Structure 1
Amino acid sequence: METAEKITLDPSKIMQVGTGFFGTKTLLTAVNMDLFTILAKRELSGKDIQSRLGLHSRSLYDFLDALVAMRFLKRKGLKESALYSNAEDADFFLDKNKPSYIGGILEMCNNRLYPFWNDLEDGLKTGLPQNETKNGGKPLFEAIYADPKKLREFVGAMAGVQMGNFIEFAKAFNFSNYKTLCDIGGAGGFLAAHVAINNQHMQCTSMDLPEVEPIAKENVQNMGLKDKVKITSGDFFTDDFPKSDVITMGNILHDWGTKDKKTLIKKAYDALPKGGALVVIENIIDNDRSKNAFGLLMSLNMLIETAEGYDFSASDFDAMALEAGFKSTSLMPLKGPTSAAIAIK
């Protein structure tokens, strides 16, 4: 009788993912309470943090030391004698007073998305959104744009989730044959701003709904770019896109179903000159649909948040772009799970 090969199975991956929400909610809570912003000024004792954040003593050190164990905080000493400070990445990305702050998306995860994902099973069975609309609320964008506080949080979230990729794209893409760029659905204006900063010859425009215009103008003003970046208002479904050499869309197409995706791609095609480029910056799913887990999970988030939206693969984009009339496509990897899908007219 042949001896069966002994296989050692390890449940750690199952447990890590299955209980992952423990760590997720701990980090989101710390961001939401401005812990990293407070610690950016100076290191503090547990008692100081307790007083500043209004925490109970029972789980104070479990909370702080969990953040130490997850490498978001650093610590000298133990419990009552401990002094806490930010880890380098937390200090750079999670201090609200730094321009590198990406916590906006984490604030939105904490304040909106975290409870909605509890109903993922309902979404998978019904195909319907599981956000505010489930209980008779307004659709996502209508609700966000009607509330100035929610809108500012949303614009900050969109900036935070893709800021590094906007900068990477602005530096890596070859703009030498182009002079003008328009970012469609430009939110806070950051993609256009970083292209202008890194490509002095470029004149850039950021287009979004009128409610966003004051926020984008404020951002551009603060960055000293009001002469290089124009902020304009419009509805990208009902208004023509401004004529530009390059048209960008950052995290726009995944909000919509196939018909609307094709409409936006065709409108971009019509606004571009021959040789012009459409650039779509998103968490493009690999064609084998087996590697970009974040892109696939983001597509599930579109189920939670939208009526028809989904994330897509490079081959999905290629098919839609070629159908619209573009002559060639390519993919530029950016940071992490994000890529720039490019179509040339």
Structure 2
Amino acid sequence: MENHSGQPSPGSIMQIGTGFWASKVLLSAVKFELFTLLAAAESMSAAAIKSKLNFKCTDRHVFDFLDALTAFGFLKREGFLETAKYSNSLDTHLFLDKKKATYVGGMLEMLNNRLYGFWGNLEQGLLTGAPQNEAKQGENLFEKLYEDPNRLKEFIHAMSGVQMGNFMALAQQFDFSNAKSLVDIGGSGALLSLMVAKQHPHMSCTSWDLPAVAPIANETINQFQLQDRVKTAEGDFFKDDFPKADIITMGNILHDWDEETKMMLIQKAYDALPEGGVFIAIEGVIDPERNKNAFGLMMSLNMLIETGTGFDYTFADFNKWTKAVGFQKTEILPLTGPSSAVIAYK
């Protein structure tokens, strides 16, 4: 955060340095399901919220918590202190009510339950190059996730949450008129397939992932009532060829891996596509100068925490890899916030 005032100020330094305070306020509210509570009640007093959530702190600290959420824009408030009534803001109402299909809080739940603690070891990750998650106990992240149904469900909802806005934007902005079929590799909860199918009635979509994922994805497909055009299929992208389709997509998949594995996955996508087929990767693509998309850079550091060797990348990186396997043309499509779709045409 550059200082443009012309005068020295520690303001931005302190804002970033205390950033985990703001993060924990939001993550705590999600854990307490405060926004779901308010969505049902429409508005509540601080006293009612305190009682419902069983807070034992002072009234003043309840006000501080709720007013901080108001200052951040997550809540709206009418009145003051004891007379205040709190309600959800527009974005909070849509995206943080757990009872809505548009809920994105799964990522926030995982941030709170897993990554908040692991990121405390970033220094060790930089010093050692080793993952700082479950792998520190000699466990493989993905094996550990997939053997525990509850943790797997949390992880899938997290991945869906962080990408929901991007999947909606892709479905609205990309031209799907020349395609009939889409396979989403590592499709997790099937949300990308669902967003495309919902927006484009001519598309048939397949969410392709490991067998343990299918029951969770099928729950979501049933919730959207799109079983006729969105299916799940089982496979392992390290062992199996990708299913054939007009469009192959990957949301937050490439960045998990080192360059050699990225190239292997891109090659498999190329092999599964017809002439004129399209490969789309959706991630926090880092800007060319590597000094603007802080989210993409931090997500890349998150891959250090999670996998040790995975990393996020620039459009130039994507160009290099896709051209090397034979793709003819590439483009980048900005989506929501710091995320983009990088697109390669066969």
**TM-score normalised per structure 2:** 0.95
Aligned partner of 2:12 in structure 1 is 13
Q: Does 1:232 align with 2:233?
A: yes
Measured after TM superposition, the shift of residue 189 of structure 1 is: 0.6
1:27-106 paired onto structure 2 within 5 Å = 27-42=26-41, 43-58=43-58, 59-106=61-108
Cα 1:307–1:8 change in 2 (3 A) is: closer
For 2:330 and 2:79, the matched residues in 1 are separated by 55
How far off is 1:32 after superposition?
0.7
- Of 117, 120, 127, which residue of structure 1 is paired with 2:119? 117
Identity %: 55
C-alpha distance in 2 between matches for 1:300 and 1:44:
39
C-alpha distance after superposition, 1:214-272 (max 9, x if no partner) = 01111111111111012101101101100111100000000011111000000000111
Tell me the equivalent position of 1:196: 197
Q: Distance in 1 between matches of 2:87 and 2:195?
A: 31
In the alignment, the residues of structure 1 paired with residue 164 and residue 150 of structure 2 have an alpha-carbon distance, to the nearest angstrom, of: 21
For 2:333 and 2:71, locate their aligned partners in 1 and report how far apart those are by CA, in whole Å.
35
Q: Deviations over 1:251-304 (max 9, x none)?
A: 000001111100000000011111101000111111211111110010000001
Superposed counterparts of 1:172-321, under 5 Å:
172-321=173-322
- Following TM superposition, by how much is the alpha carbon of 1:77 offset from its aligned partner in structure 2, in angstroms? 2.4
- Secondary structure at the residue paired with 1:205? strand
AA at the equivalent of 1:233: E
Partner SS for 2:164 = helix
Aligned-pair distance for 1:160?
0.8
Q: For 1:111-190, what aligned pairs fall within 5 Å after superposition?
A: 111-134=113-136, 136-190=137-191
Q: Does the C-alpha gap of structure 1 residues 230 and 7 become closer, same or farther in structure 2, counting only changes over 3 Å?
A: closer
**Cα separation, 2, equivalents of 1:141 and 1:224:** 29
Q: Give the C-alpha shift of residue 162 in structure 1.
A: 0.7
The offset of 1:46, in angstroms, is 1.4
RMSD: 1.3
Q: Residues 326, 86 of structure 1: CA spacing in aligned structure 2 closer, same or farther, 3 A cutoff?
A: same
- Structure 1, 295-304 or 59-68: larger mean CA deviation: 59-68
**Residue 261 of structure 2: SS of its match in structure 1?**
helix
Q: How far off its partner does 1:307 sit?
A: 2.9
CA distance in structure 1 between the partners assigned to 2:233 and 2:72 by the alignment:
43
What displacement does 1:79 show?
2.4
Q: Which residue of 2 aligns with 1:3?
A: none
Give runs of ≥4 in structure 1 deviating > 6 Å: none
CA distance in 1, matches of 2:182, 2:130: 36
Structure 1 residue 7: Cα displacement:
5.0
- 1:289-338 deviation per Cα after TM superposition (whole angstroms, max 9, x unaligned): 11111100100000011131100110111111011111111111111111
Q: Whole-Å Cα distance in 1 between the matches of residues 99 and 138 of structure 2?
A: 33
TM-score normalised by structure 1 residue count: 0.96
Q: Distance in 2 between matches of 1:158 and 1:65?
A: 29
Q: Gaps (5+ residues) in structure 1?
A: 1-5
Q: Give distance in 1, aligned partners of 2:85 and 2:230.
A: 44
Aligned mates of 1:124, 1:307 — CA distance in 2: 9
Secondary structure at the aligned position of 1:111 is classed as helix
